[in-house]
Chain A
Amino acid sequence: MTALRRLTGVGLAAWFLLPLVPLVLWAAADVWRAPAALPQQWGSSGWSAAAAAGGWAAAGRSLGLAAVVAVLGTLLGAAAAAALDGGRLRAPRTITALLLAPVALPPLAVALGLDVLLLRLGVPAPVGVVAVLTVAALPYTTYALRVALAGMDRGYAEEARLLGATPAVVWRRVRLPLLAPAVATAALLAFLVGWSDYVVTLTVGGGQLVTLPLLLGSAASGVGDEPTVAALALSAVLPPLAAALLVARLARGRTG
């Protein structure tokens, strides 16, 4: 049993980490020609090229976009989850289905359709991108918070009431702290939606909002400057990984 589990663990790790190996090698290579197993010449030319191509500014825009989507997506998701949990909605199933719909729809079709609509309405491109991505993040945030709310023992809130806390104080002092890990998870998911989006930023944004994925896309479609592409790709992979580890730590710290 343990042997099987260990094997699965190693397999999963390989599945996730192996694709990163060539990226790491390319990002640290100046020259690496075809038959060689390792780069002929190590260096950081990829990173300087990425910086020169506007990597820092793109990373900043990505971070800003992801942060805004995380905040808006979590707030709206919390509102939706609270409304669904309250049991006072008329058609909770229909509303749940609508909220989860963005996961089911092909993003490119939605983005192209919305692009036309938003252009006609005269909505500024960055606002449109934020709006569409927030809706795309809602299924994840609503789901994460809905599960947490449903799993929350109402005994805690009732006990707090009897100990003298008004409903508002119960929310601030009892419910939110109990929900903190779920809120962090929801925010992380929404952050990832904003951080890793390519299609919506490209179509709805109309090239005005150059984020890291857009820069990476254009670099990758150009002629083989692999070190630059690898450097940009790693920059796109590492922040979410760090954020995920942070959230996992936070969630673990809470259970003690």
Chain B
Amino acid sequence: MLDGVTRRYAVGGAAALDGLTVPVPGGACLVLLGPSGSGKSTALRLVAGLEPLDAGRVLLDGADLAGVPPERRRMAMLAQRPLLFGHLSVLDNVAFPHTVRGVPRRRAHADARARLDAVGLPGFERRRPGELSGGQQQRVALARALAAGPRVLLLDEPTTGLDTGARAEVHELLRRVRADLTLLLVTHDPVEAATLADRPGDRVAVLRDGLLQQHAPVGELYARPASLTVARLLGGRTEVPGTVRAGRHVSPLGALQLPVPVPAGPGVLVVRPELVELVPAGSGIAGTVAEVRVLGARALVTVAVAGAGGTARVHAEAPLGRQPAVGDPVGLRVPVDVRTVVPPSEDGERQQLP
């Protein structure tokens, strides 16, 4: 549990992290998601005890961790770089958490061997870390972190330095070894957040400029972003400015009924591209294809819709090969339940938590 956690690097300067309060239920995964400079890594360092708090508290099972040194917090960290000790063999690296606590060498090595097996690296005991690939090193680092027997596993962009294949391997391993560990994951990648925070109690906290933007299950972030920042961070593209009047969003797209009550006033309609349906011209909202970009197996189609007060651009996805050509007239269908209106300023309103 983080309670009002604040950290300033310069006296009187802007806070790197400003009053972050967010619960981390035992056994759940909390993702701190944000662009670089959002304060998410700072939060992790404060939780680990590597940096002092300027205000607030970090609580573990109700106990304030103030004054508890990192080595006694029962947390382990898997960082972006594996940080394996180059002067030790792979086995001695994994046995390190045991040997520094005075566990006899034989027992430490037996446990380390079992942990290397568990991360799929049997037979690597005598190797030096430098002889391993990046993905293998990260798996050794994970085995070492788990050997410390942590209650909370801190993950600081654990797959950012890896290629796609190695990244998938580390994700799969993390899901397998997770059991009832509490995870605190820092990442800028919404896909990674969605992959690792997929259990019912898991939550994502979106940070920007040290401020909490939204705290919700990952599905809700996609479906109901609280601000433009959150929508953009999660890959949302369509942003149609307009005005909310009597439960409808009025823009060049027309007066669209909203699924939930929204206070009247200016608001930006955000819709995920994969939820917009392209239909033949003549039905739905009439528009013209302005741009087509192929994204792997799917194509991103940008449709310009001219209406009252200007032109709006709406993004939709189509399977590759089924996408219309630039200049084609098309129809758009935006289901009522996928329409979300956020405040026009980038920050939105600061999320208030109980």
A and B interact: yes
Q: Is A173 in contact with chain B by the CB < 8 A criterion?
A: yes
CB-based contact A162/B77 at 8 Å: yes
Given contacts A180-B87, A254-B87, contact A163 B81 (CB under 8 A): no
CB-based contact A169/B70 at 8 Å: no
Q: Is B228 in contact with chain A by the CB < 8 A criterion?
A: no
Q: Is B221 in contact with chain A by the CB < 8 A criterion?
A: no
Q: Is A51 in contact with chain B by the CB < 8 A criterion?
A: no
Q: Is A174 in contact with chain B by the CB < 8 A criterion?
A: yes
Q: Is B86 in contact with chain A by the CB < 8 A criterion?
A: yes
CB-based contact A162/B87 at 8 Å: no
Chain A residues contacting B50 (CB-CB under 8 Å) are: 158, 161-162
CB-based contact B145/A163 at 8 Å: yes
CB-based contact B71/A156 at 8 Å: no
CB-based contact B87/A177 at 8 Å: yes
CB-based contact A256/B128 at 8 Å: yes
CB-based contact A165/B87 at 8 Å: no
CB-based contact B75/A162 at 8 Å: yes
CB-based contact A164/B86 at 8 Å: no
CB-based contact B77/A164 at 8 Å: no
Least CB distance from B296 to A in Å reads 35
Q: Which of A5-59 contact B (CB under 8 A)?
A: none
We find that the number of chain A residues with CB closer than 8 angstroms to chain B is: 21
CB-based contact B81/A178 at 8 Å: no
Chain A residues contacting B77 (CB-CB under 8 Å) are: 158-159, 162
Given contacts A158-B50, A159-B77, A256-B130, contact A165 B71 (CB under 8 A): yes
Chain B residues contacting A254 (CB-CB under 8 Å) are: 86-87
Of B22-30, B95-103, B196-204, the one touching chain A: B95-103
CB-based contact A163/B86 at 8 Å: no
CB-based contact B79/A163 at 8 Å: no
CB-based contact B130/A163 at 8 Å: no
CB-based contact B85/A174 at 8 Å: yes
How does the 8 Å CB contact mask read for B139-153 relative to A, with 1 for contact and 0 for none?
000001101100000
Chain B residues contacting A87 (CB-CB under 8 Å) are: none
Q: Is A2 in contact with chain B by the CB < 8 A criterion?
A: no
Q: Is A221 in contact with chain B by the CB < 8 A criterion?
A: no
Q: Which listed residue, A162, A166, A255, touches B48 by the CB 8 Å rule? A: A162
Q: Is B118 in contact with chain A by the CB < 8 A criterion?
A: no
Q: How far is the CA of A174 from the CA of B144 in the complex (A)?
A: 15
